[in-house]
Structure 1
Amino acid sequence: MNDIALRLGISKMTVSRALRGGKHVEAELKGKILQAAAELGYRPDPEIAKLMTHMRRTRKTSAPQTLAFVWAERSSRERESSSWSQQLVLGAHRQAEKLGFKLEEFHLAARGMTGRRLSEILEARGIPGFILSPLVSRSRGHVSMAWEKFCSVVIGLGYARPQLHRVHHHHYLGMMTALRMLKKQGYKRIGFYCGSTINERMFRAWSASFLAHHPLTKPGELLALRKSLNCSDFQEWLRRAKPEVVIDGGHLVKEWLEEMPRDRRPQHVSLGWRADMPEVAGVDQQADVLGAAAVDLLVTQYQQNERGIPESPRIVMTEGVWRTAQLEKAEPRRTGGVKGRVDG
């Protein structure tokens, strides 16, 4: 940086700001600095960059920098009633604290709250970036935040607009793992009953993986994607398809299966395993890992002074772990493996 400053007759601070993408350097001068850096073969030292970022942050304030976790659709009551949501935000809080930040939650579903209003609140409080929770409904596909003022990350694929940096669970790998574990047990007539909307929201990753990795060449009616899920339709599908095992995206069919006689009840596997229902085997999506990954991606943008809609959005995928239907604690296996026992 000293060499560049001497060549151009400017201060090292101006060089530093330009190389970090600072907004307070004129475009023409910034271009000259970047050109000189390229000619001199300048490369940043990641360890020094990390140290300087920390020093700049601690000089600004003794309190941790606050980042926001924005619930796009869930109210505070809905967030408290969802174990997945609790696990997600807990992982985010822990990672933010680990990296020296503080995470504060906001709700777009709160009375009188809008994207623009929330943007004004975040800007007034000096919050530079936020994580946006999963978007479920099409109506929430576009959230009118003042994107240009913040760094941001969206959790999940969904219908979010504009295209931003995202983190999401590797759903394709999750289905593949479930099928491999079941095939290892000798099952062939493996059925999948799920809502079509949630499958489309993840760009049909579940159905694509189901068809690609199913033990039968033509699964036929074993794949059931429905716009509307109800018990009568589920029972009718069971009679027609006769699956040995039913995979579902959560735990919706659990209650319906429990209403059936045990000798007629197929095995049950969930792609959204829950700790409060350990009797059902499945893929633990590890929402806490997902929340931590979102914080990592957001902090990276903050440290690199990135704001607004990215030119090349990044997608970070996290793996789940396979959980057997055993009440005692079992050592989890990465979803890429096939060893283990399904105690359905």
Structure 2
Amino acid sequence: MARPSMNDIALRLGISKMTVSRALRGGKHVEAELRGRILGVAEELGYRPDPEIAKLMTHMRRTRRTAEPQTLAFVWAERSSREMERSSWSQQLVLGAHRQAEKLGFRLEEFHLSARGMTGRRLSDILEARGIPGFILSPLVSRSRGHVSMAWEKFSSVVIGLGYARPQLHRVHHHHYLGMMTALRMLKKQGCKRIGFYCGSTINERMFRAWSASFLAHHPLAKPGELLALRKVMSRGDFQEWLRGAKPEVVIDGGHLVKEWLEEVPASRRPLHVSLGWRADMPEVAGVDQQADVLGAAAVDLLVTQYQQNERGIPDSPRIVMTEGRWRSAGERPPISKGGGKG
């Protein structure tokens, strides 16, 4: 039995095949009532797109973009341009996004919600006026939950990070649970048992407690409770007090805040330092390289897929894409960046 086609749907409803095609792709020029009837008949007939034809149409759209690449947006939710320049993680994130966009035949332009007078609604108007159909929203780093008032219904969108709460959108994030598991596994191979974790509670909450859950589940000790320190406010004094009480032989942290505090401890009593956010500019600290450039590229992949499938607005079933990090030993040379700048 031949598979149902768009022509079958058109004949059933007495309309053109082009109208059926537009409706199935979510085109704006098909009335809602007619689109509903078309989708209903498509479901009734068991219509499914031909993957080879879809592949051909995607190729044709990419070919048309060759002369003048479609612009997509990368929206910094909180970081200013100056803050972004000081953050190696942010630079790698957006660099990976720029490279992947260029590879797929698009260009990426950056915008900052922290700019003077900028709001989500105003930025939405700017993007719409410039014909930019989709954007990537950077992580909300200052809190575990938040809201940005973009005109979501007009755009394809991807959010980086797990902490963003409203609305529920497609998102990509680093596999934090696996990152902690990797760090613990590598330290156990080195014979370490009293492994401590000192971290801010806000960042742990933002990733749905993935770090603390993995720490408790994969720690070499059966009861590592006293070695887990989640603090709403992290301070030098609190850290030193925790060190004296817990006596860890290794301290894992989420960034590099404790590096300076550990340097104040006499070398004979100083624990090893491992970071879950390894930095190329501090290779002396071992840890998990979150490979922010891979994360940025994954965000572009997810956004371009929506654009090519004409998906706009808040999805019915949001997808989550996770990327893996890589363990880097203390003193390991930073990876050589491939390619040029952001373009």
> Structure 2 length normalisation: TM-score?
0.90
Distance in 1, Cα, partners of 2:342 & 2:264: 20
Does structure 1 retain, via aligned residues, the 8 Å contact 2:216–2:224? yes
Q: Secondary structure at the match of 1:191?
A: strand
- Distance apart, 1:35 and its partner CA: 3.8
Distance 1:268 1:302, change over 3 A: same
- Deviation track 1:237-277 (CA, whole Å, cap 9, x = no partner) reads 11110001100001111111122221111111110011111
- Deviation track 1:209-260 (CA, whole Å, cap 9, x = no partner) reads 1111111111132101111112121111111100011000011111111222
- Deviation track 1:166-201 (CA, whole Å, cap 9, x = no partner) reads 111110111011111111211110000011111111
Does structure 1 retain, via aligned residues, the 8 Å contact 2:289–2:325? yes
Is 1:247 the counterpart of 2:227? The answer is no
Distance in 1, Cα, partners of 2:261 & 2:342: 20
- Distance apart, 1:343 and its partner CA: 33
Q: How many residue pairs are counted as aligned between the two chains?
A: 331
- Deviation track 1:41-95 (CA, whole Å, cap 9, x = no partner) reads 4321234213313424655883111000000100000011100000000010011
Does structure 2 retain, via aligned residues, the 8 Å contact 1:271–1:284? yes
Does structure 1 retain, via aligned residues, the 8 Å contact 2:62–2:105? no
Distance 1:29 1:340, change over 3 A: closer
Distance in 2, Cα, partners of 1:316 & 1:341: 26
- Distance apart, 1:7 and its partner CA: 3.6
- Distance apart, 1:25 and its partner CA: 1.8
Question: Which of 304, 309, 313 is the equivalent residue of 2:314?
Answer: 309
Distance 1:245 1:60, change over 3 A: closer
Does structure 2 retain, via aligned residues, the 8 Å contact 1:182–1:342? no
- Distance apart, 1:341 and its partner CA: 32
Comparing 69-78 and 55-64, the one that deviates more: 55-64
Distance in 2, Cα, partners of 1:341 & 1:117: 32
Distance 1:288 1:15, change over 3 A: same
Does structure 2 retain, via aligned residues, the 8 Å contact 1:131–1:154? yes
Distance 1:343 1:144, change over 3 A: closer
Does structure 2 retain, via aligned residues, the 8 Å contact 1:281–1:342? no
Q: Secondary structure at the match of 2:197?
A: strand
Distance in 1, Cα, partners of 2:341 & 2:54: 47
- Distance apart, 1:306 and its partner CA: 1.2
Does structure 2 retain, via aligned residues, the 8 Å contact 1:66–1:101? yes
Give unpaired runs (5+ residues) of structure 2: 1-5, 331-337
Distance in 2, Cα, partners of 1:66 & 1:224: 44
Does structure 2 retain, via aligned residues, the 8 Å contact 1:138–1:159? no
Does structure 1 retain, via aligned residues, the 8 Å contact 2:76–2:113? yes
